Structure formats: structure tokens, C-alpha cells
Amino acid sequence: MQLQPAALTETGTAICTLCIFLVPLTAAGLALVNTGFGRSRSAAHSLLSAMCVFAVAALVYLMIGFAFQGYIGRPAHLLSIGGRQWNLLGADRWMMRGIVFDGSSVSLVACLQLFCVALAAIIPLGTGADRWKLGPSCASAALLAGITYPIFAHWVWGGGWLAQLGGMASCGSGAIDAGGAGVIQAVGGLSALSIAWILGPRHSKYESSGMAIPGHNMVMVLFGCALMMVGWLGLDSAGALLFAGASVNSLVLIAANNVITSSASLVTALIVTRVRYTKPDASIGANGFVIGLVSISGACSLVSPVEAAAIGMVAGLLVPFSVEWLDRLGFDDPTGAISVYALGGIWGVIATGAFAQGRPGQWLAQAAMLSALLGFVLPVTYCLNLLLNRVYPQRIGKDGERQGLDMSELGAGAYPELAQVTKDYLFR
């Protein structure tokens, strides 16, 4: 049978609402991580871009995104194949008309999704750091919020065909993604992969010594990770309540699994860097922590703490090798977003099928979900951004990149005192 959301009591509704209120901390933490991994000459631009992308994604989702995503039991476009009706696309009203924001399930979903789509849209900003212009990044976010995200979210969370696979005896409960490992993280990560492909590497990235360009503020990165942890507890808890049939009592398990998976992933990533490079690496450690959160999202309410630790250990092993491998292939990804969110989200989808308790055949539904990510989301996202790049070039010019996005696009730097001190020192 298709997995149905749990009927929330008045207490459950209040707890779910509180969890939703925590989700913006995830976006705030991600914005800090993206900024810290970039250069100081583009710091203000990075944070402003996150705010603008958040706003654009939320507004576009309000206007058309929710209409395409819809919700279980609401109007949808159906296609009859083999005598069965398959749900392909939401057919709700534009501008969320007809939704009463009174704490009902549909109103909670609509509110949560405004934050989720914005979070997915912020992920690619880290990959495009130091060279992605503000206007095109907002336009790209609009495409994600209006097309790719709501369509895929409908298939998984809106009663679409991936969720309907639960009606087939061999596919468990249909595609499961409690906290958005696939719907949010993998969609955002695959968008980041498309952006890296289209923008190309930063100038001087692969010149001379070939050393990586260091982030300008690792303290900001690590503090951002801590903020993301708090927001992630709310994100996974609200998602599990609304999309995975979890009860309020399971929130304790969700919190424990988040802590255990991120901890196991962090420790594993640091051990790998210690063995390979003789010293632990702070940037890989940060990415290891976050990929743990990403990978547990899909099955956060469905696995035991021991299984959560195993999921985190695999994630921690993946991230250092993935970052290095992508770098060798020429993908300039300052934050490691492709490794953390695309690969981590994909691993989360697979892990849900492998570890979900009491659901034989679940791996088939998760395999279908993975195929939809790689066969639909990635090519559509790439083509949309490639077309956008033709009509609205996304990359800053070489002189603008050398000067920094703060000065070239905003006309002022993020650290004017530091610039003045440097200037005074040079002219002594």
C-alpha cells in the first residue's frame, strides 16, 4: 500500500509547526558555509545571493510551484497505462488559492515546502562561488522552484507515480523520502553539478601549482554546520510527520539518528584525511558532518541507531574521495556541494531501500526514484540552465572575478576595514 501521512492530533500539529519554524536555520547555516568556503572578496555577494535566491524560490513556488507539486488527495493530472491511473503532475490552483493556513495537513505541507524549495535553490550557490552573477543565480532558482523541484516533489511527496509504486506488491510502500534526501538534497546537488559544468572552473584554479583555492573563513563554515544541525532536526521531523507516516513518538528516534549519523560521518571523514594526508582536514570534516545529515534524511524515522551509524560511516568514506575525484575531473566546486548533496542524497535514497525496516522490496521503489533523479532531474536541470546561459550569461567576466563579486556587482566589499588596513600597510 502507498504510504500515507499520519493524522496529526492538535499536539502533533503544534509540534510539527514548531519543527517547521526551525527549518530556516538550515538555510542560514548553508549560506554561511557557502560564504566561508568562498573568497573574502565575494563574501557579501554570497550572503546576499542566498537571501535573494531564497526569496525568488519562495515567490515562484507560491505562484506556480505548489500547483505542480500538489498534495495527496488534491487535484492532479493522471495518465492511464495498463488499466491503471498514474499520477504525473499536480493540478492545484495558482498562488496557493484555496489553501486555508489553519494548521491542516495541506497548510503545513505548503508552509514547509516554501522553506524546502528555497533550501534546494541555495545549494548550487556554493558550487558557483566567486563567479556566478546575482541575476542569473536568481533566474536559475526560479527554474528550479517552478519546474524541476515541484515536479519531482509531486512524484514522491504529492501522491505521484513514485509514491504509487506502493500499490505493487514488489515495491514496499512506494518511494520513501522522509526528510528530503532525494527531493531536496539530491535535486539541489544535481543542480550544482549542472552549474559547475556550465560555469567552468575559477580562473587560476588549475594553473601553476594546481593547489586548491582555500576558503577564507573556516570558522564561518563550522558555525554554519552547527546551525544546519539544529535546522535539520526540524526538517527531518516535520518531513517524517507529513510524508512518511511517522508519529510524534518517533521524533526522539529521528533526533538520535541525526546525531549518530552526522557524528559517524564526521569521524570517518577525519580518519580518512588523517590517514591519507597525515593531518585531519577541517573542510572535509565539515563536509563529512553535513553529508551525514543528508544521507540519513531519507530514512530518518525508519532505521535503528546502529543502522544510522552504518549509513554515516559510508557517507564519511564517500565524501573525501568524491571531492578529490571531482576536482581531478575539472569540476571546480568550492564547497563540495556536489559530493555532499548530490552524492549524499543519492546514498540516502539507496540507504532507505537497503535499511528500511519491515518493508520488503522497498529497494525497487528507491531504485525507481534514483532513476528519476538521474534520468529526469539531472538532464532537465542541465538543459534549462544551459538555455538560460544562452540568453542570460551566468558567469562574471575575468576582470570581475579577479576584482571580486563584491566590488564588481555590489560596488562595496564585505570587509572594508581589512581592505583599508592592507592599503595602509602597502603604502608605509
Residue 315 scores a pLDDT above 60: yes
DSSP summary character for residue 395: B
Confidence of residue 102 (pLDDT cuts 50, 70, 90): very high
Q: Show the cell assigned to 316.
A: 564519511
Dist CA 17 CA 103 (whole Å): 8
Counting beta carbons within 10 angstroms of the beta carbon of residue 23, is it exposed (0 to 12), middle (13 to 18) or buried (19 or more)? buried
CA 198 to chain centre: 19
**Ordered domains of the chain (ranges, CATH):** 10-426 (1.10.3430.10)
Residue 1 has what pLDDT? 42
The string of pLDDT tens digits covering residues 207-251 is: 655 567 889 999 999 999 999 999 999 999 999 999 998 999 999
- Going by their DSSP bridges, the two strands 76-81 and 84-90 should be labelled as antiparallel
More confident residue, 361 or 92: 92
- 198-to-127, 147, 384 alpha-carbon distances in Å: 11, 19, 11
Report CA Rg, the chain. Answer: 21
Instruction: Please check whether residue 345 is in contact with residue 294, taking contact to mean a CB–CB distance below 8 angstroms.
Output: yes
Reference 153, options 20, 42, 243, 281; nearest CA is 243
Cβ neighbors of 108 (< 8 A, separation 6 or more) are 8, 13, 16, 17, 20, 238, 242
Dist CA 355 CA 362 (whole Å): 9
Residue 418 has what pLDDT? 66
Q: What ranges in 178-250 are assigned the alpha helix state H?
A: 187-199, 218-243
Q: Show the cell assigned to 263.
A: 557524528
Q: Show the cell assigned to 284.
A: 572535509
Dist CA 253 CA 5 (whole Å): 18
Average pLDDT over residues 293-297: 98
Q: What ranges in 146-281 are assigned the alpha helix state H?
A: 149-157, 161-164, 187-199, 218-243, 251-277
Reference 251, options 3, 1, 6; nearest CA is 6
Residue 4 scores a pLDDT above 70: no
Dist CA 7 CA 123 (whole Å): 32
CA 88 to chain centre: 23
Residue 210 has what pLDDT? 55
- Of the listed ranges 117-121, 156-160, 359-363, the one predicted with least confidence: 359-363
The string of pLDDT tens digits covering residues 44-100 is: 999 999 999 999 999 999 999 999 999 988 889 998 887 788 999 999 999 999 899
- Of the listed ranges 201-215, 247-261, 390-404, 410-424, the one predicted with least confidence: 410-424
Handedness of CA 100, 105, 150, 121 (dihedral sign): positive
Residue 397 scores a pLDDT above 50: yes
Q: Helix (H, G, I), strand (E, B), or coil: what is residue 198?
A: helix
The string of pLDDT tens digits covering residues 254-267 is: 999 999 999 999 99
Q: Show the cell assigned to 329.
A: 575531473
Instruction: Please check whether residue 235 is in contact with residue 116, taking contact to mean a CB–CB distance below 8 angstroms.
Output: yes
Instruction: Please check whether residue 344 is in contact with residue 298, taking contact to mean a CB–CB distance below 8 angstroms.
Output: no
Dist CA 253 CA 246 (whole Å): 10
Residue 259: CB atoms within 10 A of its CB come to: 18
Q: Which residue has the cell 558555525?
A: 223
Cβ neighbors of 262 (< 8 A, separation 6 or more) are 229, 289, 290, 292, 293, 296, 312
Instruction: Please check whether residue 46 is in contact with residue 125, taking contact to mean a CB–CB distance below 8 angstroms.
Output: yes
Question: What is the average pLDDT score of the chain?
Answer: 92
Containing 108, the helix (H) or strand (E) segment is helix 105-127
Counting beta carbons within 10 angstroms of the beta carbon of residue 7, is it exposed (0 to 12), middle (13 to 18) or buried (19 or more)? exposed
